[in-house]
Every structure is written in structure tokens, then in C-alpha cells.
Amino acid sequence: MRRTDTLRGLVRETELTPAHLIQPAFVIAGEGIREEVPSMPGVERFSINNLVEEAGEVATAGIGALMLFGIPNAKDEFGTGAYDDEGIVQMAVRALKDAHPDLVVMTDVCLCEYTSHGHCGVIREGSTEVDNDISVELLAKTALSHAEAGADAVAPSDMMDGRVGSIRHQLDEEGHSGVPIIAYSAKYASAYYGPFRDAAESTPEFGDRRGYQMDPANAAEAVREAELDLEEGADMVMVKPALPYLDVVRRVKDATGAPVAAYHVSGEYSMLKAAAANGWIDERAAVVEALTSIRRAGADAIVTYYAKEAAEWLR
């Protein structure tokens, strides 16, 4: 059954199409800007008008959704830019939905791009640790402002305890019961986020994120995290990064049966790009193989910086 492509097609177990992919996008203040992220060849940061143009291509390519990350002009201790109705993400969402009503726009909900210290939550006074509960309140406020701007789904990536329940409650109270929550349930304290932090200017000023992101050595804990988020009202759970954690994707899928997303992160992307640039791998084949593996492990959707290119290759 492997002899010809048609025979292989008859028995292929895993399907990979552009509709399974989510394209991350970085939006910055200003106008007429598109600048490449040095550590992520092929990935650009767009000002709103340019992003609207880019999103048109993403929609035409049949990609499932856009996942929006904002880079604000100013940062402060409490990350106020994250929940400002005139903030960068809120304005971008309005412009995107206005121009492309059918494009699914998801927003990353976190404080790290907006806090002066670069942590995903607020730092408790006189310490270097995040204050879980105050952070949760601000995250819920952020998610609500995204929904009010017209986001189709919100994706909290902070890893604070109880934020999914709090966001669900807040959204329901304010008339957004139809907005789903895609929870980054098993987000590991990973070395593979380096290039993203360049792109989002969100490298922590002190310490690291191991106090709230997961220990790479744990998998059973990921299942518990996913189950908790689902109990709190998550509609989809996410595992991140993807390739080093395919066992976790499988365990979460089998244990919960819920819709699962996997985030093929910046470091995974940049490694492939670097090897390809050196002529060491066949980029197209390697990328399709990686994305197929993530689907085979049990992911329904894949967040990947390769979405647009892969959509082209999968046509």
C-alpha cells in the first residue's frame, strides 16, 4: 500500500490542511511599517494598516485563524496597555474585523508585552514574584477588552491559576458568552521562546518564568492543568512548545478528548529556517513532516509561523 502516491493516499491516517493552521502575527504602533524580526527570518512586525493587508493574504490562503500579539509603545509596572480600549491589540482587532469579517481573529492574552519588567503578571510589592490573584483580575480585564473590540476568541498564555474561570465569568457577565477561550494550559518554561521574546520585546528583566510556567520534566501535571482549565470553562486547551512535547499533546488529547492546539514556537521555527538557509535540510519536506507529526500526536490546530508558507505548500 506504499508503492504509489495514490495507494498511500488511500491509507493515510493524518490529514494536514491550511484550515488546521493558525498564523501568529505581531502588531506594532505606527503606520506603514513592516520590519523583519532578525532572529525569525520571514516573520515581520506590522503596523495596523500593513497587518490588515497581510491578513487578507492569510484569509485567502484558507488558514484557520490569526493569533494576534501586540507590542505597545509604552510599558509600565501594571501592564496597563494590555487592557486599554485604545491599546494596540484592541485597535488592530477592530481594523482586522472591519476589513475581513470572516477571518477568525484570536488574541493572545498576557501582560508580558506590556509590563516594564517583562513578566506575565504583576510583581508583588517588595518581591520578585508575580502576584497570581491581582494578575488574574487584570488578565480578565484584558480578555474582556479584546472581546469588546471584536476578537473571535481569546487565548490566555500567562499560566496564572484560575484565570480561565475568571475570564469566562467576566466575558459572560458582559454579554460575550459566545467568545471561546483557548487556554495555554500546558505552557512549559522553555528555551525555545528566545526569538519570540526578541519579536515581542518581552524578555523578563529579572529572574525567569519558572515560577509560573511548567517544568519540562512533567507530563502528568499537564493533564491536570488541562482538566482544570476545562472545568473552568476553556473551550480548547493548548500545549506549548510542540515538537519536544508531542507525548504531552497525546496524553492531553487522550485524557480530555477536548479540542487541543499545539504551538510550534519561535525557536522551533528559527531552527528550521537556519538549517534551511544553510542548505542542510529540505525546508518544505521538513516543515510538512513536523506539522504532520504534531497533528498525528493529537493536535487539532497548530499555531505556527510557517502557516502561510505551509498553506502554499499544501495546496
Q: Determine the residue with CB nearest ligand PBG.
A: 196
The reply to whether 66 sits near Zn ion by the rule CB under 5 A is: no
CB of 175 to ligand PBG, least distance (A): 27
Active site includes 97?
Answer: no
> Phi, psi at residue 171, to the nearest 5°?
-65, -45
Residues 83, 115: contact at Cβ < 8 Å? no
Residues 37, 199: contact at Cβ < 8 Å? yes
Catalytic position from the list 141, 240, 253, 273? 240
Active site includes 253?
Answer: no
Catalytic position from the list 75, 97, 141, 187? 187
CB of 261 to ligand PBG, least distance (A): 13
The reply to whether 89 sits near Zn ion by the rule CB under 5 A is: no
Q: Which does 108 bind (CB under 5 to 8 A by kind): ligand PBG, Zn ion, none?
A: ligand PBG
The reply to whether 120 sits near Zn ion by the rule CB under 5 A is: yes
Contacts of 182 (CB under 8 A, 6+ apart): 106, 153, 154, 155, 234, 235, 236, 237, 238, 261
* DSSP three-state, residue 150: coil
Instruction: Give dist(CA 114, CA 91) in Å, integer.
Output: 15
Instruction: Give dist(CA 43, CA 149) in Å, integer.
Output: 25
CB of 306 to Zn ion, least distance (A): 22
Query: Where along the sequence are the contacts to ligand PBG (CB under 6 A)?
Result: 108, 110, 112, 120, 157-158, 193, 196-197, 202, 209, 265-266
Active site residues: 187, 240
Chain residues in the site for Zn ion (CB under 5 A): 110, 112, 120
